[in-house]
Chains A and B, each alone.
Chain A
Amino acid sequence: EPEVTQTPSHQVTQMGQEVILRCVPISNHLYFYWYRQILGQKVEFLVSFYNNEISEKSEIFDDQFSVERPDGSNFTLKIRSTKLEDSAMYFCASSPGTSGYEQYFGPGTRLTVT
């Protein structure tokens, strides 16, 4: 069964460094998403992406964040200058874009900023 994959599973970085989290959505899906979950808190929506542009973004998704689909298979989240409070689990998801728009999630990347 097709699934969303994410790499790396765990990323450790120093404050102020740039990180890129990578995702391979399910083939033929049209919508892509990033979410984050700070330890002990809710899963929070960051951004949705369709047709090579951002569709919606939350207040969390400020100028330090960017997303890109550099080729036909990868979907990336870049954090330009990481802060301690960016430490979280980051989930990628994709949706076929058909009726119901259910979202399928990857296993997550745990980002630790030191």
Chain B
Amino acid sequence: SQQGEEDPQALSIQEGENATMNCSYKTSINNLQWYRQNSGRGLVHLILIRSNEREKHSGRLRVTLDTSKKSSSLLITASRAADTASYFCATGGTAGNKLTFGGGTRVLVKP
């Protein structure tokens, strides 16, 4: 079953703008990960944030984690047309090593 819910489900922005998407989850987690999926392709791992971390950066990506609210956000700054993809959050439970994926946010960056 899916644990994460992502918001918004779809996002359309102009190149150069920032894109923000949110992920909420229900149970305790060990870590939260963000993945990108281009249409019809596999998943690319973007960033992992552990439950004891609050913010993490990787290039143009910024991820926050609020365990008290059971939510995370992914910010893509200065978006490019190549950022057009679906973005998924996935949580790793404390009890095992399975990943549970959120519903995803489809991002369209218009040139």
A binds B: no
Hey, which bits of chain A sit against chain B, CB under 8 A?
none
